[in-house]
Chains A and B, each alone.
Chain A
Amino acid sequence: MKVDFYSYGGESIRLDKSPGNHQVISGHLVDGCDILNPEIQFGDSAVLRGMTLNYAYIEDFGRYYYRSGAGTIENGCIYIPFHVDVLKTYSSQIKNCDARITRSQSNYDAYIPDSMITNRAVTQVKQRKVGNGFTSANKYYIMIGG
């Protein structure tokens, strides 16, 4: 089967990944493997022993995969485990999902308390005069009948 290998150094939680260094390598599906966590047999090669090619798209399964392990080498072959990347695979459908968003980079409400902003024990005191007020005097007010 044909596997499209990529290099991806970005965040795994990113929905729209843009992997690079595309290489197509043929391999064989190990019998009895899980489609969401497949293990595929490739011919041993230096490029696969390294982790530069750490991301893949398997056209037969219609899914993107992380390379979940470095693999095992046996009889001149390298067996590489993968795990499905649901975020990249279903990114457009996920974007169309309704949700109650609790934290956001773009649409946050700054007036909701955030536990990630921590208070220190120290305080700072300022004083600001906000008017001229009264002027001092030394007067007496006396109320008298008459």
Chain B
Amino acid sequence: MAKIIDYGDGTYGLRIIIWPDNMDEVHEYFPDFLPSPAKLVGEKLDEENALRNSKTYWMEGIWSSYFENYKQDGNSYGYMPGDNPKTENKWHRADSENKRVCCFLNAYLTEDNKPYIDIRCDSLGELYPDCGTDSDNSSPSYKCNFGFIFDNTSAVSQDSTNIVLERSLHCAGASNEDWHPLVLDSNIKTTYLATGIWEPRWDSPHWGYNPIDMLEFITDIPVFTSGAAAKAYLNTGAIDASTCFNAPYEFEGSGFNTYHVKSQTYEYDKYENFVQKDQYVHWLMINAGSNTVKGYIEPGTKYNCRLKAYDGGKGDLIKIHYLDSGLTSFTTETMTISDFNRSIFAKKFNTYYDMRPYGKSGYVVGQVWSSNIDFYVDEDHMDLSLEDDNIKPLNEDDIFESKDRQDIGTSADTNHDLTDRTFEATTGFITLYESSAAALNVLGSKLYDQTSWVDIEKALKIYGESPISAIIKLYHCPINLDSYIAKEPTTGFKVGSYDVDTTGVSKVQSYGKVVTFGEFTITPTYRDYRDYQNFEYTLHLPFSNPILLDPSQYIGKSCEIKATIDPVNLQVRYYLIVNNAIVQFIDASFGRQLAILGNDTAGKAREIRQDIMNLTGNTVGLATSVMTGSPLGTVNSAVGAVNGVINIIDSVKSEPKKQVVGAFAPGCSESDILYPYLTIVETLSVKPAALESTYGRPTNFVGKLGSVSGYTCAEFTKVAVNCTEDEKNEIAQLVNSGIIV
């Protein structure tokens, strides 16, 4: 797609379009410009597979940026470099509300709305040998830059030290409406200027010397072609490869077996009282095609997990993406099944959970364990499992991803199915208002004002209407619902057919947004049974009773709390999500219902009409008296009727009819804690020193006594020893009470 551009002044440029469908060509010239996939590195990254789960992404450091809204103190949120950006050159999520981070390329110059780069070349398209190597800022005519060739036009400007391109990148967090720019530092390869908070600005990346060398952009976050595409991702978590420059590899294609395994190895020396020696992180993603990958444990080795690929019969190769400890880029290779099984990629993972011995004095313990691969107790079991479904993997409970578990129903992803919904709060004849206290005062005073609304005369003439009757219910709300509802300002209340103009009123248009409310991970303390028996984890959510968490569901896993609000009834529903599954939801009320008192003019008018109707009945009695020749009764009745009407009219002002809407209902206390928190109560325990080596620890392992080492107790020993009966009995007794193997 590259083409030669004649600038008309005897100079030429080779124009390369920067677009997702042309990245192969881009990478021919600039291998480090948005290489795919957006990398999955960073210790706090979701272990399962960040891109697929649309979790937090990390940015490796060629960018330096500070946002006004992203403070660096303990109450920070957003994305900041570490305390020492020179070494901690990655950005990390500091707050759970920013679940997705991405940016889009906001190129200054485009062709057909696609950014491009012109590389200085001759009329035949041959690049100049010194292209991009001129370090003389004062004569930049041979420099090549993103979007434009330097020729002192308005596309670029120049300050004392840097050449400035008029473009910017923008970064946003999912919970922030504003877009903030990333600012590319002048000497990006060696220096990370992190001396203060910069103002958010639509600024330009400063490109220093060797611009071609500088045309690299390695980031863990997805970079999109437009703000709309980026926002689509922020809203849905889905990455459209046609709008993303560094889209992740397709790991979820139909018919593909995709696997991943990640482990972090901590090595200990028992002769140094189990002092940690070092640690290694390994991360492997596998696209196995039609093939199957399984694993088994090989005791006594440092990396005691072994992977093995089984031929699926279609000749598919194994594609792997591997990240080793301390490296920032994945190794990507394609290989045969046998090559994979022999490769280091199948042998660099440990330890399935517990501290395991290896070598003479070494122990390793695996942490950050994450895999969707079935691991078996040994290679034989692994092989047999291909034919025998009764052979279960060791980590059966840990595998949450679709592995055809042959259970009922179909696979569900309740976390991602829990999406924003739109419930209308304002319909044609009912309106939900958000009101300030002052606006409510205005409305309240109007409810007592008879003269300016419905006067009694009008009510008598027709049927009347009491504004109080139009009010359905009123709640006091102690929290801000702006994140959960959509609303628009309005000029006041519409009460039935009457208007009350005032400020501080908004119409609630809709609700149903699902908002991330919090997140926590319960990290095992002891990595043994005490984490389940000795701890009581209680989650406290605002306005809800404490929720006692089942340790088996939460320990070692991340729990995401989402919330949605019903502003009609002032109810909140919290969702607890573990491994993308909604495991629990909790409903709570957070508003206090209030009663409203007002004049019921129409009701009063009805009473008056009824009274007059009764008088009319007296008038009928009067006529009857005349006909029956009782003049005295006639006079009395007439006088009574007139007096009755007068009395009725007089009573209108002296006895106003009141109506109450709703009731004063108990609600939340103003002192309720408004944030979620976890209380952890631990019953402290005492583990004797050197317990394992002195008395061992419980196990339920059946096998040869020689397959274990150190202190060992065993029951039901089949003493297959060529000795006397007395000796057999003694052996059994000794083994039962404890021996050292």
Contacts and interface: CB of A to CB of B under 8 A. Distances in A.
Interface in A1-28: 11, 13-16
B118 to A, nearest CB: 46
A103 B699 contact: yes
A96 B707 CA distance: 9
B699 A101 contact: yes
Given A101-B703, A129-B677, A142 B440 contact: yes
A112 B698 contact: yes
A136 B674 contact: yes
A42 B697 CA distance: 44
A78 B534 CA distance: 58
Nearest to B728: A86
Given A112-B529, A127-B677, A137 B478 contact: yes
B702 A98 contact: yes
B436 interface: yes
B708 A106 contact: yes
A99 B718 contact: yes
Nearest to B473: A143
A133 B673 CA distance: 9
A142 B474 CA distance: 4
Given A117-B691, A134-B480, A129 B675 contact: yes
Given A108-B696, A110-B697, A93 B714 contact: no
Given A13-B734, A146-B495, A139 B477 contact: yes
A132 B704 CA distance: 54
A112 B699 contact: yes
Contacts of B702: 98-101
A104 B299 CA distance: 14
Contacts of A135: 479-480, 674
B563 to A, nearest CB: 9
Interface string B671-700: 001111111111111111001110111111
Interface in A89-140: 89-90, 93-114, 116-120, 122-140
A141 B570 contact: yes
Contacts of A114: 528-529, 691, 697-698
Given A100-B714, A103-B697, A120-B685, A136 B477 contact: no
B695 A116 contact: yes
A107 B418 CA distance: 43
Contacts of A139: 434-436, 476-477, 480-481
B77 A132 contact: yes
Interface in B581-604: 591, 594
Contacts of A98: 702-705, 717-718, 720
Contacts of B7: none
A140 B704 contact: no
A30 interface: no
Contacts of A33: none
B712 A96 contact: no
B565 to A, nearest CB: 9
A123 B726 CA distance: 50
B527 interface: yes
Contacts of A32: none
| Most chain B beta-carbon neighbours within 10 Å: one of A36, A90, A101, A125 | A101
A142 B704 contact: no
Contact of B701 (A101, A131, A136): A101
B709 A105 contact: yes
A109 B710 CA distance: 15
Contacts of B570: 141
A47 interface: no
A145 interface: yes
A144 B430 contact: yes
Interface string B507-539: 010000000111110000011111011100001
| Most chain B beta-carbon neighbours within 10 Å: one of A14, A102, A129, A137 | A102
Nearest to B713: A103
A17 B695 CA distance: 18
B723 interface: yes
Contacts of B717: 97-99
Given A133-B517, A143-B431, A94 B567 contact: no
A106 B527 CA distance: 16
Interface string B723-741: 1101100110011011111
B718 A125 contact: no
A145 B705 CA distance: 81
A135 B480 CA distance: 6
Contact of B95 (A89, A127, A132): A132
B542 A140 contact: no
A25 B141 CA distance: 100
Given A99-B715, A123-B683, A131-B518, A109 B431 contact: no
Interface of A: 11, 13-16, 36, 84, 86-87, 89-90, 93-114, 116-120, 122-146
26 contacts: A36-B724, A90-B721, A90-B731, A97-B717, A101-B708, A101-B713, A104-B699, A104-B710, A104-B713, A105-B710, A112-B697, A127-B677, A128-B679, A130-B675, A131-B520, A132-B675, A133-B675, A134-B675, A136-B478, A137-B477, A137-B478, A139-B436, A139-B477, A141-B508, A143-B472, A145-B496
Q: Which 3 A-B pairs have the closest CB atoms?
A: A131-B518, A105-B710, A95-B706
